[in-house]
Amino acid sequence: MNVGILGIGNLGSSIINGLIRSDINKIKLFAYDSNSDAISKVKADRVNIVKSEKELYQTSDVLFIAVKPDQVKSVLQKMLTGFTGRTVISAAAGISLDFIKNNLTTPNTKIYRIMTNLGCEFNSAPVLVAGYEPLDQMTQQVLEGLGKIYQVNEQLLNALTTVVGSGPALITYFLDSLVQYCKIIGLEGDSAREIVDMVALSTLDYLKYKRVTYEDLIEKITTPGGITLKVLHNMDKMSVKGRIVDSIIKGAHN
């Protein structure tokens, strides 16, 4: 099976590297980007870089669209009639299935939307999928190479974009505030970043391997009158959690 990736940007390169890493049997990777600099982001010996959109359409059984949302329309309109009977997977945020269907010049093309994040490079991202029909076996096999699949309706996929797609940026924003604190108290060099990274990774390991709830973990760390409780009380007084949720709602729905 030939899998094409149109757009070797931030997400497109992660999709390519994720599929290479997952080593799925019997798939060949093809990719195209109009920006020749993008090609350096992927392992050239594991993906066939083609010279034009046309060549990519001709080669791909399954085609990922990983260009910016405002670039999707022109990409769809350029698709050849020969693409009929194949599968398009759009990763573009906010571009609906109907928009894709209405702008495709090729009939009988299976259309899916996905929402995932840069973590698909390590096969560990959630991969939300919406389509007019349930996933076929071939597309499922490809998407499993990026992480864990959740088939959802399109409305939910849109609403979860801020958690799944933007999530790594939101989490990093919080980690950066811990780094800022470390710097304020005088930690120099790369140590602040290194320590905060280790705290984040060891926390995820603990949650994963000990299978505790978020509440249980917080309870294990706090002692009555202790420093953790004081910090969390301060955050609650400032409604930090509520403000974060409000910001996500405002960003997602306005």
36 makes contact with ligand NAP (CB under 6 A): no
Report if residue 11 touches ligand NAP, rule: CB under 6 A: yes
Question: Minimum distance between the CB of residue 207 and ligand NAP, rounded to whole angstroms?
Answer: 23
Residues of span 201-240 touching ligand NAP by CB under 6 A = none
Instruction: Pick one of 3, 89, 118, 125: the residue that binds ligand NAP (CB under 6 A).
Output: 118
- Is 100 a binding residue for ligand NAP by CB under 6 A? The answer is no
Whichever of 86 and 126 has its CB closer to ligand NAP, that residue is 126
Residue 2 touches ligand NAP, criterion: CB under 6 A: no
* Closer residue to ligand NAP (CB): 74 or 180: 74
What's the Rg (C-alpha) of the chain? 21
Our CB check for ligand NAP shows the closer of 36 and 254 to be: 36
Q: Is 18 in the site for ligand NAP (CB under 6 A)?
A: no
Given the DSSP bridges, would you call strands 125-131 and 110-115 parallel, antiparallel or unpaired? Answer: antiparallel
CA of residue 62 relative to chain centroid, distance: 18
Q: Exactly one of 1, 24, 39, 93 binds ligand NAP (CB under 6 A); which one?
A: 93
Q: Is 10 in the site for ligand NAP (CB under 6 A)?
A: yes
* Cβ proximity to ligand NAP, 8 vs 179, nearer residue: 8
Nearest to 125 by CA among 210, 209, 14, 205: 14
Residue 53 or 196 having the CB closest to ligand NAP = 53
Q: Does 121 bind ligand NAP (CB under 6 A)?
A: no
Beta strand 87-90 pairing with 48-49:
unpaired
Q: Is 38 in the site for ligand NAP (CB under 6 A)?
A: yes
* Residue 53 in the binding site for ligand NAP (CB under 6 A): yes
Closest separation in Å from C-beta 246 to ligand NAP: 22
Answer yes or no whether residue 119 interacts with ligand NAP by CB under 6 A.
Answer: no
Per DSSP, the residues of the chain read -EEEEE--SHHHHHHHHHHHHHT-TT-EEEEE-SSGGGGGGS-TTTSEE-SSHHHHHHH-SEEEE-S-GGGHHHHHHT--GGGTT-EEEE--TT--HHHHHHH--SSS-EEEEEE--GGGGGT-EEEEEEESSPPPHHHHHHHHTTEEEEE--HHHHHHTHHHHTSHHHHHHHHHHHHHHHHHHTT--TTHHHHHHHHHHHHHHHHHHHH---HHHHHHHH--TTSHHHHHHHHHHHTTHHHHHHHHHHHHHH-
**Interface with ligand NAP, residue 89, by CB under 6 A:** no
- Residues near ligand NAP (CB under 6 A): 6-12, 32-35, 38, 53, 66-69, 71, 75, 91-93, 117-118, 165
